[in-house]
């Protein structure tokens, strides 16, 4: 059991999970707002030996070295790699601090978002129609860039609806190819796909000026990554081509774009995180508690 566990900011746990924290720490402190500075984070942590945080704050070396009692940091957000994490995991390791994160908890909501927006533009439901007449997903040439968990779920859903799926990934996916998903080099995928989905890890930027030129006019790009999977300036230039459309659920997914970017008729942003659903918070809570048990050796 930990002596003191502090959540330095809102971490999206459901009420029953917040209550469950008391099973794993003698004292539990939950802050309901985002800290304004590293000094405030250090102040909130104090003498705690366990810390929880979400994606809205960062715990770098400057914070960790000033909190000598920490032995566990729980990331209540996606952890894809040490390099992209909002915790300095490498430095924490030198201090004997265990850092655990979660992933794959909001993917179903993202798939539903994609289906909602894609059928909207194909049929003209509430937005300009992509072609001269309504078309189904059946036969649509869909390219998936990044066939991880969320990318594979999107591919599975679109294939179930009859789409022709191609994918590009750093590694080949034999299971996907066995069910008819074709691997293509990135340039070929961009050229031959009608709709492209970037489903990449945070801070992975694959599309630049040359890649957008290969994508060309009359195409649709969805970004379901946590951040932009492309050079944002190149995206803006591509959107000047006729018949292009860009979809993202949150503004952060577009990256550093111009002031009038979201006012464009061919930019569609709900500005709501598609993965933050009731079910996702339940799954997030389960995974956060499981990580705490792992850290305690239970």
Residues 6-17: pLDDT tens digits? 999 999 999 999
Q: What percent of the chain has pLDDT over 90?
A: 87
249 and 222 Cβ atoms separated by less than 8 Å: no
C-alpha 197/C-alpha 4 separation (Å) is 43
Let me know if 37 is exposed, middle or buried by CB neighbors in 10 A (0-12, 13-18, 19+). Answer: exposed
Phi and psi, residue 127, nearest 5°: -160, 165
pLDDT at 298: 66
pLDDT at 125: 95
Of 181-185, 215-219, 249-253, which gets the smallest average pLDDT?
249-253
pLDDT at 81: 80
Q: What would the two tokens of residue 37 be?
A: 């500075």
63 and 42 Cβ atoms separated by less than 8 Å: yes
C-alpha 245/C-alpha 121 separation (Å) is 9
pLDDT tens digits, residue range 157-208?
999 999 999 999 999 999 999 999 999 999 999 999 999 999 988 778 899 9
pLDDT at 46: 97
Average predicted confidence (pLDDT) for the chain: 95
Phi and psi, residue 190, nearest 5°: -65, -40
28 and 5 Cβ atoms separated by less than 8 Å: yes
Let me know if 28 is exposed, middle or buried by CB neighbors in 10 A (0-12, 13-18, 19+). Answer: buried
pLDDT at 78: 84
In this structure, how many other beta carbons lie within 10 angstroms of the beta carbon of residue 103?
16
Same fold, 2-105+278-295 and 107-269: yes
Domain ranges of the chain: 2-105+278-295, 107-269
CATH of region 2-105+278-295: 3.40.50.720
pTM of the model: 0.84
Of 123-127, 199-203, 207-211, which gets the smallest average pLDDT?
199-203
Of 78-92, 107-121, 140-154, which gets the smallest average pLDDT?
78-92
Residues in the chain: 298
pLDDT at 115: 97
pLDDT at 194: 98
CATH 3.40.50.720 given to domain 107-269: yes
254 and 235 Cβ atoms separated by less than 8 Å: yes
DSSP state of 261: G
Query: CB under 8 Å to 23, separation ≥6 — which residues?
Result: none
CA-based torsion, 238, 230, 166, 77: positive or negative? negative
C-alpha 252/C-alpha 159 separation (Å) is 28
Q: What would the two tokens of residue 232 be?
A: 């944002």
Let me know if 232 is exposed, middle or buried by CB neighbors in 10 A (0-12, 13-18, 19+). Answer: middle
| Higher-confidence position of 269 and 226 | 269
pLDDT tens digits, residue range 39-85?
999 999 999 999 999 989 999 999 999 999 999 999 999 887 888 88
Residue 103 confidence (pLDDT) above 90 = no
């Amino acid at each position: 059991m930990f002596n003191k566990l502090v959540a330095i900011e809102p971490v999206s746990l459901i009420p029953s999970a917040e209550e469950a924290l008391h099973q794993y720490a003698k004292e539990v402190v939950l802050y309901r707002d985002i800290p304004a500075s590293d000094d405030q984070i250090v102040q909130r942590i104090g003498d705690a030996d366990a810390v929880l945080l979400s994606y809205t704050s960062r715990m770098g070396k400057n914070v960790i070295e000033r909190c000598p009692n920490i032995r566990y940091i729980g990331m209540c957000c996606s952890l894809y790699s040490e390099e992209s994490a909002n915790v300095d995991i490498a430095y924490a390791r030198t201090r004997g601090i265990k850092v655990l994160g979660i992933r794959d908890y909001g993917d179903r909501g993202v798939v539903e978002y994609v289906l909602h927006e894609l059928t909207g533009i194909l049929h003209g439901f509430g937005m300009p129609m992509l072609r001269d007449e309504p078309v189904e997903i059946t036969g649509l040439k869909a390219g998936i860039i990044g066939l991880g968990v969320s990318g594979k779920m999107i591919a599975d859903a679109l294939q179930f609806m009859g789409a022709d799926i191609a994918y590009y990934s750093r590694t080949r996916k034999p299971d996907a190819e066995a069910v008819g998903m074709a691997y293509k080099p990135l340039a070929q995928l961009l050229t031959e796909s009608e709709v492209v989905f970037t489903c990449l890890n945070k801070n992975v930027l694959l599309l630049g000026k040359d890649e957008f030129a290969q994508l060309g006019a009359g195409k649709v790009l969805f970004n379901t990554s946590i951040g932009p999977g492309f050079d944002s300036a190149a995206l803006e230039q591509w959107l000047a081509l006729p018949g292009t459309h860009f979809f993202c659920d949150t503004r952060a997914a577009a990256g550093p774009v111009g002031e009038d970017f979201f006012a464009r008729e061919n930019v569609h942003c709900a500005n709501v995180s598609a993965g933050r659903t009731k079910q996702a918070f339940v799954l997030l809570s389960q995974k956060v508690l499981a990580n705490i048990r792992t850290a305690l050796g239970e």
